[in-house]
Structure 1
Amino acid sequence: MQNKALNRKGGGGTEARDGAEKEEMENVVVTAKTSSPSDDDISPAPPIFFLPPPPPKKAPGGWRSVKYILGNESFEKLASMGLIANLTVYLQTRYNMDGIQLVNVYNIWSGSTNVTPLLGAFLSDAYLGRFRTLLFGSMSSFLGMVVLALTAGMPKLRPLDCPGVSNCQKPQDWQLGVLYSGLGLLASQGTVFVDIAKVIVAARKKRAVSLESSSGHPLYDPPLTESDQRVAKLAHTDMFKFFDKAALITDPSELDDKGLPKNSWRLCSVQQVEQLKLIVGLVPVWFTGIGCFITMDQMNTFGLMQAIQSNNEVHNFKIPPGWMGLISMICLSIWIFIYEQIYLPQARKRSKKNIRFTTRHRINTGIVMAILCMVVAAIVEKSRRDAALKQGTLVSPQSILLLLPQFALSGLIEAFAAVAILEYYTNHLPETMRTLSGAIFFLSFSASSYLNTAIINLVHLVTSNNGKESPWLGGRDLNKVKLDCFYYLIASLAALNLLYFNLFSCRYLEKQVDKRSESRHEEMNEAA
């Protein structure tokens, strides 16, 4: 009787619902019965209605947020890459800078813009957050582009144009000040940094403790708190064991009643120690990246100067020298498309698993591309200069198209080595340090720019003192210097970088992470 009453509408005289509706109602209605077998003793219990569970919330981020990131990056790169591609040409043709001064200005600006993300990462993680940091960085870049646009549109802000290569008016100090202010504004813009400092201080305080005799001193390795659910638990490693002293419990009084350190500057957790080890472990690979990026810097400066003094007419069409920088980006994009959209899907179909090139293989390939880039550039430059000297003209009759291979190889350096190193930084560091990984990556670009400036000035100083032969670098005319010899020098440094990577820094490519944490690629695939 009770079930019949429940299957009627509002106590009316309607017929019983069909079987499907009755079964659905029985799933949400629960009636309680007593244990007495007698029907008279049955006391009707009020029905209890259970609400359906809320729909599962999808994890934020993943591929759904890519469209916003791509939009932001597209507009930012449209301005910055357009500037990078034409800055060398602009400084030489509008500010009458010679080769050494031009390269120094470009490298110092490039180094400064790549070192400021480290400050931006600190402010983002510690104080401002990512969105405010992006807002301030975008405003700074906009103001920088406005100042540079004024220098291009107002002739008084730059020296007089010079059609030749000698006796040109040099820019005045205040004109350079306006230029540098515009370039400077274009710089990109309870934390992990405090944890790093705590580990160093704690390890130094316990430097007298011997690790060999520390069997009676356990390591402080508490489980992660609820607020750290998305943070990977780092397993203890044997690398850089000196820092393990920061996690040694030398005295039980170092912990309070809740098992927490009384002085966090004397006792740190294994998690904090391993975070510092990860930072230190990045240094060998970081130096490898500097060696690769030095080669890429040559194409943005001397490579474009080669294009200026090459025949840029192709079937009655003049190719702007700044366009040569697009070749690197085009080759980078083509390779990423082939790798992600063609190679990986075919590899998954054949092997039923995700087969990616290892980080070591990609970095090795990038270094080899760096060597080939400099060798090809040296051969092409020797041919270009000989053709110009034979004809006796400033611009060589050799076609600008012969510069395509070296710019293409420069793009492949970024496609293999730069992308692999950035992925290594991102996967190597814990979730709390994701922003720092990008800053460390751009810091290597900054270091390569400053190191490249030092190498160029040293080479110019050494080779210009020999009056018998032409210097390797200097002046506005590449026909009077031996740029090909400088390219061979950079190729030799790249070869040494290849040996250094395979004999030493490749040992630090692996990271031990607790098996309970999932890989970053799997999380993104699930979120998608």
Structure 2
Amino acid sequence: MVSSTTEIKPNSTTATKKGSFGGWRSAILILVNQGLATLAFFGVGVNLVLFLTRVLGQDNADAANSVSKWTGTVYLFSLVGAFLSDSYWGRYLTSMIFQLIFVVGLVLISVSSWLFLIKPVGCGDGEIVCLPTSSFGIAMFYLSIYLVAFGYGGYQPTIATFGADQFNEKDSDRHKQAKAVFFCYFYFALNAGSLFSNTILVYFENLGHWTIGFLASMCSAVVALVLFWLGTPRYRHLKPCGNPLRRVAQVVVAAIRKWRVQVPDDGDKLFEFEGSESAIIGSRKIIHSYEFRFLDKAATITEKDMIMMSVHKTTNPWRLCTVTQVEEVKSVLKMLPIWLCTIIYSVVFTQMASLFVEQGNVMKTNIGNFKIPAASMSALDIVSVLIFTFIYRQVLVPIIGGRLTGNPKGLSELQRMGAGLVLGMLAMLAAGITEIQRLQRVIPGTDNSSLSIFWQTPQYALVGASEVFMYVGQLEFFHDQAPDGLKSFGSSLCMASISLGNYVSSLLVNMVMRITTKGNSPGWIPGDLNLGHMDRFYFLIAGLTAVDFIVYLICAKWYKCIDLDGNEDGELEENVGDILRRV
């Protein structure tokens, strides 16, 4: 490729390599941190729909929409955390700051529920009605849960990437394999942490002990933060790579300014820095690809560029960009169709925190004198995730990878995501069949059905199995396919798909209710579910997932993987002192 050895080269001052840092010792501490933080988050989120209906008096549809919007906001904030992490603060500092915000939100929700909302004590258990609360109490509650959303959302993609950073692929093949395994254990730790919330905490909250549940979540988040801080000296820290929005804007502007320029057929004639260092400090070079050829105009050298390089010994980045910078933009554009196809799956996933809970709440929940909290059924999803994670890693990978595909991972990330879509569709069909059976067994004169809540087991188990394929596959795919300067952004795409899935779910509920409540019809999801047809809503989502799967197959076949330069000399590390000086 055409190159330059003049002042165009970036500043190559680097920190000393610290190969003794990172590894599984640091990664395990991060996994424990993830488990405890997730326990704290789901201690608030998993039963939120019942808190809104029982304590704040919202109806079922409004509560489901409120939870969908809140959960969507959680994961939308992941983009904020990813941007700050990749651009300015780095993974470690971003994780620390957002965990502090998370803890503050949990403190406020504990205080607001205790002082303003749970009146009289023990209300919100499904029997004792809570007194109307003040506007100040409601405002405090919403401020606190959105601080929780902001803190956990900004922390989540950053901690996933920070954990993967602990393995330097340049050290050995063992580290490269460990990085792939880490994401599987990361999702395992996430679900292991939420298992406690979905069983013990949900049980106490269902009895009206909401403040105890929120206090337990707060304590767990504090312990997670302290453990994360204790590991500081041993972590492997990578420097942030600067503002990616500026780099993207430079490529777009340069390509538009040269819209009449002919791109050379030979990619080696495009502009790139000489040697191993990339124009993006801390990032490896990216090999030229032939998709989105219009953007290659930004790296095409014109006569005016040659004059500037020879006379001024520099280039104008708003007119001439390197191949790596152009390929960084291309990589994002190539990932977008795959990402868009995952949004419908997230609509399936979000039903567990809303409609599945409302459905379970009007089923037979008693075993003798013991009453099963409807929200605790999501523990079946977690158990399913833990079991299928083990089955996939220990059984399917050796069989599929060794005998069928030859891929050491068993199935590729794209294949796993496709399998996740199919399993998600089956989960919605199972939920619809369960709802039909529930409606046929409604007890006259009551809101409940004689159908056991354990009929929900297949839908929860199928969602859990689909997560192992979809979300673990997503984490690996978007991390591996993102350039070095956008690793946190890659991880945040997984969270952002959940965010948009929640918003799409809320939009679907609103559209369905607006259409189905015409005339005197109560609609598919009324306040009294026995008068509705929630089964039809589940089948609608299953149909949308089937269509989405077909589109996904087309996008996956078209996708071409990113081709990174194997040299990692551009990957820069820093120590804690560097971080403090930068701050």
1:219 maps to: 270
2:286 paired with 1:234: yes
Deviation at 1:321, TM superposition (A): 1.5
Query: 1:450: which partner in 2?
Result: 503
Contact 1:224 1:233 in 2 (8 A): no
CA contact (8 A) 2:287 2:564 kept: yes
2:54·2:126 contact (CA, 8 Å) conserved in 1? Answer: no
Instruction: Select between 455-464 and 183-192 the one with higher mean Cα deviation.
Output: 183-192
8 Å CA contact 1:289, 1:418 repeated in 2: no
1:206 corresponds to which residue? Answer: 258
Aligned-residue Cα RMSD (Å) equals: 3.1
Letter in 1 for 2:145: L
**3-state SS of the aligned residue for 1:466?**
coil
User: CA contact under 8 A between 1:220 and 1:269: conserved in structure 2?
Assistant: yes
Q: Is the contact between residue 327 and residue 408 of structure 1 (CA under 8 Å) also seen in structure 2?
A: yes
2:38 paired with 1:77: yes
Contact 2:277-2:285 at 8 Å conserved across structures: no
* Matching of residue 481 in structure 1 with residue 442 in structure 2: no
**Hey, what does 2:392 align to over in structure 1?**
339
Q: 1:363 deviation in Å?
A: 1.5
Q: Structure 1 unaligned runs (5+)?
A: 1-55, 521-528
Match of 2:71 among 100, 110, 114: 110
Give the aligned residue type for 2:292.
F
Q: Which runs of 5+ in 2 are unaligned?
A: 1-16, 155-241, 572-583
Please name the residue that 1:299 is paired with.
Answer: 352
* Farther off after superposition, 186-195 or 349-358: 349-358
Measure, in 2, the Cα distance between the counterparts of 1:117 and 1:436: 8
What is the Cα deviation at residue 253 of structure 1?
Answer: 3.0
The alignment status of 1:356 with 2:410, answered yes or no, reads yes
Give the whole-Å Cα distance in 2 for the aligned partners of 1:339 and 1:140: 36
Instruction: Indicate the structure whose relative CO is greater, using CA pairs within 8 Å and at least 6 residues apart.
Output: 2
Q: Which AA in structure 1 matches 2:248?
A: I
TM-score norm. by structure 2 comes to 0.72
Distance 2:409 2:87 in 1: 37
Which residue pairs with 1:462 in the alignment? 515
- Listed one character per residue, the Cα deviations across residues 409-456 of structure 1 (whole Å, up to 9, x for unaligned) are 111221111211221100101222211112222111111111111111
User: Would you say 1:372 and 2:426 are equivalent positions?
Assistant: yes
Name the amino acid aligned to 1:487: Y
1: CA distance, partners of 2:403 / 2:306: 59
* CA deviation after TM superposition for structure 1 residue 150, in Å: 2.5
| Counterpart check, 1:146 vs 2:122 | no
Query: Compared with structure 1, are the counterparts of its residues 353 and 307 closer, same or farther at alpha carbon in structure 2 (3 Å cutoff)?
Result: closer
Give the CA deviation at 1:273. 0.4
Change over 3 Å in CA distance of 1:394–1:122 after alignment to 2: same
Partner of 2:26: 65
Residues 108 and 449 of structure 1 are in contact (CA less than 8 Å); yes or no, is this contact kept in structure 2?
yes
SS of structure 2 residue aligned to 1:413 = helix
Q: Distance in 1 between matches of 2:40 and 2:100?
A: 13
Which one has the largest radius of gyration?
1
Distance 2:411 2:268 in 1: 42
Summarize deviations over 1:144-195 as a string: whole Å, max 9, x none.
1122223432355779958989x99776644432221011101222333321
Report if the CA contact (8 A) 1:89-1:321 is conserved: no
Number of residue pairs matched by the alignment: 459
* Whole-angstrom distance in 2 between the partners of 1:298 and 1:292: 10
Deviations 1:183-239 (A, max 9, x none): 11012223333211211111111112233x777993102235457897443111111
In the alignment, is residue 503 of structure 1 matched against residue 554 of structure 2? yes
Aligned equivalents of 1:466 and 1:74: distance in 2? 49
Q: Secondary structure at the match of 1:441?
A: helix
2 CA distance for matches of 1:479 and 1:243?
56
Where do 1:130-141 residues align within 5 Å?
130-141=91-102
| Residue among 158, 161, 176 paired with 2:138 | 176
Deviation at 1:345, TM superposition (A): 4.9
The one-letter code matched in structure 1 to 2:532 is V
Q: CA deviation at 1:117?
A: 1.6
Q: How far off its partner does 1:515 sit?
A: 5.9
Q: CA deviation at 1:365?
A: 1.1
CA contact (8 A) 1:472 1:482 kept: yes
Match in the other structure for 2:228: none
Give, as a single letter, the amino acid of the residue that structure 1 aligns with 2:534. Answer: L
Match of 1:243 among 286, 295, 299: 295
TM normalised by structure 1 equals: 0.79
Residues 291 and 261 of structure 1, relative CA distance in 2, 3 Å threshold: farther
Cα deviation, residue 407, structure 1: 1.0
How far apart in 1 are the matches of 2:567 and 2:450? 64
Distance of aligned partners of 1:224 and 1:274 in 2 relative to their CA distance in 1, 3 Å threshold = farther
Query: How far does the alpha carbon of each residue in 1:389-425 deviate from its partner, in whole angstroms, 9 at most, with x for none?
Result: x433112121111111111111122111121122110
**Structure 1 vs Structure 2: percent identity of aligned residues?**
29
